[in-house]
Amino acid sequence: MPVGPHTASPRTSPARILVVDDDRRSASGLAQWLCSLGHHASAAGSAAEAAQAIGRGPCDLCVVDALLPDHGAQRVAAAVRGANANAAVVTLVPPGADATATLSSLRPDAVVPQPAADADLLVALDAAVAAVAARAARHRDCPVLGSHPTICRVLDVVDRIATTPATVLVTGESGTGKSLLARLIHERSGRTGRFVEVACGSLSESLLESELFGHVAGAFTGATADRSGRFLQADGGTLFLDEIATASPALQVKLLRVLQEMQFEPVGGTQTHTVDCRVVLATNDDLEKLVAAGTFRSDLFWRINVVTVEMPPLRDRAGDIPALAAHFLARAAAKAGRVVEGFTAEAVDALERHAWPGNVRELEHAVERGVFLGRGSLVELADLPPAVAAGHGRSPAADAAPLKRALAAPERQLIIDALEKSGWRRDAAAKALGINRTTLYKKLKRLGMDLAALEPAT
């Protein structure tokens, strides 16, 4: 069976390999062959058995049948990556099987169609190890972690606009990583100036104006000396304005001028300053609704809405949770000064099932707690916050499904009513609903509405 002197691959080093296949004879045979090549290989006949094996110790590489019942392959991959972020996953696809959906959600590092020659399997194992190494290298250079398609699209946009002067609006829920994305844009912009961040929501109107534009001595009580503002400090670099929706109407006018002309005067002063800085703004509010309500200027909205990047909530990219958790674990373990290798299978299950209303920030804090409170080499279920641990063994999708269906029905009907009243004109229907046409199309796609089928024949 071996094909030459270098068949101890992957990368010629002995590896801890777990083979998972509900055909136990096949799994055992493959594990024995890998052992004969010098690896430490074991076999499991189900996702539950695999979880037990991972609980006894993380593996470097997992070979798993893509068609394990009850989404077993996805569960195995999540447990493997949760216990070891640098573990590689190879999927076996039986002949004639349609595993497209499974592979899309599982995102293996290599795929092996069955039956495969031994040499082909070894090539796939090497390719998987190389893919993990490349991903780890990218993660070292990128503060925004994840391989979910939504994150990949975000990073693709960043690569395309980073070196341009375009103003960028970053949207998304609190805790999704908007500040990290702004820093990444700056790092890849090639600008030599500073990255300057301002939390607009934490300052009053008068203080925020002084913070942004600076002030001259005597401009107000306590202004005993001239002070440069954040725009000047970010000259040649990037200014990140977080929580921009909290800016007052008066300040919005001044911001509009600066964004258009890159000129301003300090509070109480007459000297005009000209700067060259890239402006990135962020909000977790719906600015279009604020414009419609009259609390946010429409001209400023259109000025900052040049390039919009939406950071997805963590619940929409649950597949990234094991990698994110492993990253936070390594960082927390370094802070704690102790060796923590990963998570138990039960802890991984709880992490994956939690809804994460606080998004990535909440996950980071949960992992830190697990590391700081834990005593063993693996973070256990009891080490996690109670709200997170409570999700172990429960299916959030099943719990949420009735609510999602209940909310989707009236939303679908509202859209149909608006379309009917507007003569099935998409732009008019979107306006009647208080949204733009792009948002309408997104809702149609999310709700699975086929307008061609709904629209009456003429």
- Range scoring the smallest mean pLDDT among 18-27, 221-230, 238-247, 377-386: 221-230
Asked, colleague to colleague, whether 16-141 and 149-310 share their fold, the answer is yes
190 CB burial (10 A radius; 0-12, 13-18, 19+): exposed
Beta carbons within 10 angstroms of residue 105's beta carbon: 14
Contact 212, 230 (CB under 8 A): yes
Q: How far is CA 402 from the centre of its chain?
A: 26
Best CA proximity match to 67, nearest among 89, 100, 42: 100
Tokens of 390: 């409570």
* Cα–Cα dist 320/351, whole Å: 11
Q: What is the DSSP string of 308-353?
A: EEEPPPGGGGGGGHHHHHHHHHHHHHHHHTS---EE-HHHHHHHHH
Q: Which CATH superfamily is domain 149-310 in?
A: P-loop containing nucleotide triphosphate hydrolases (3.40.50.300)
Backbone angles phi, psi at 266, to 5 degrees: -70, 160
Give 216's contacts (C-beta < 8 A, 6+ positions apart).
Answer: 223, 226, 266, 267, 268, 269
pLDDT digits (tens, 9 = 90+) for 82-125: 777 778 999 998 777 777 776 776 778 899 888 878 888 899 99
What is the per-residue pLDDT across 148-179, written as a single tens digit (0 to 9) for each? 778 888 888 898 899 999 999 999 999 999 99
Give the homologous superfamily in CATH for domain 16-141. Response regulator (3.40.50.2300)
Taking alpha carbons only, the member of 173, 138, 132 closest to residue 155 is 138
Q: Which CATH class is domain 316-389?
A: mainly alpha
Q: Confidence class of residue 398 from pLDDT cuts 50, 70 and 90?
A: very low
Residue spans of the domains in the chain: they are 16-141, 149-310, 316-389, 396-454
The rounded distance, in Å, linking the Cα atoms of 375 and 179 is 33
The class (CATH top level) of 396-454 is mainly alpha
Three-class SS state of 160: helix
Decide if 71 contacts 35 (C-beta within 8 A).
no
pLDDT over 60 at 397, yes or no? no
